[in-house]
Amino acid sequence: MKHLTEEDLVLLYYAEPDAPPEGRSHLAECAACRAAAESLAATFQSLDEWVAPDPRPEFERSSWVRLAPQLAPPMQSRPAAWFLPVRWLVPALCALLLGAFLVGRLSKEPESPVTAALSDQARERILAITLADHLDRAETLLTEISNASDTGTSNFTPERQRAQDLVDEGRLIIQTIARGGSGQSASSTLLDEVERFMLEVANSPDQVSAVEVRSLQRRINTESLLFKVRIIESNLRTKVQKS
């Protein structure tokens, strides 16, 4: 068997279903791959000590304030175009079901009839889609920061807000995974890593210097954060398509 790639090592570390089936046995026989795997594991494990804090008390209110202006007007004011385009139908339905799912998981109230009728497989699929979409948004922001100009001073206000939104969203997903005993638990470690970085972005000043931009870019490269997000997101998309 040829040497394992970095992608193979990441998949093995997170115990993802798409990891090479003979990867573990190869690590036992190949000193070079075993050393690379141990180095990768040491890097990941050094980031696991940080514990995600609870969402801010005003999270629900601030989320609604941001969401309300984007809601469609009443149907009677749009008689000719009340329906969603087909390409938005599945994401909208998943968002609705996930919202009911999260309420049932995170509150003390009886579970909503909407989610009570769902099978475990359907719940897992909804959560996988939501997690993949979350990582997709994180990947977009990581890519933009990686490609940002590292000269002069940059306005970081939009990035700060997007990073804070990702932090709030990611915490809810992590709590859902933890409380539900979800099969997505292997992705919680990556979500923690993403959250730590997004917190740093969210807490940055509105105007960032070239030195601060380069520092963020070094973190993305050193921790292989963008690479790991792409791998896990792609794996989730593939899993959803097969389910």
72-117 pLDDT per residue, tens: 454 444 443 434 443 444 444 455 555 555 545 444 444 444 444 4
Beta bridge partners of 207: 155
- Per-residue pLDDT at 82: 39
- Per-residue pLDDT at 78: 42
| Mean pLDDT estimate for the chain | 74
- Work out the burial of residue 170: count CB atoms within 10 Å of its CB; fewer than 13 is exposed, 13-18 middle, 19 or more buried: buried
Residues 96-130: b if buried by 16+ CB within 10 A, e if exposed? ebbebbbebbeeeeeebeebeebeeeebbbbbbbb
For 13-27, what is the mean pLDDT?
83
- Per-residue pLDDT at 90: 44
Cα 130 to Cα 169: distance, rounded to the nearest angstrom: 10
Could you tell me which of 97, 101, 100 has the C-alpha nearest to residue 176?
Answer: 101
Structure tokens at 166: 């990702």
User: Which of the four pLDDT bands, split at 50, 70 and 90, describes residue 23?
Assistant: confident
- Other C-beta atoms closer than 10 Å to the C-beta of 215 total 14
Top pLDDT among 50 and 207 is at 207
Query: To the nearest whole percent, how much of the chain has pLDDT over 90?
Result: 23
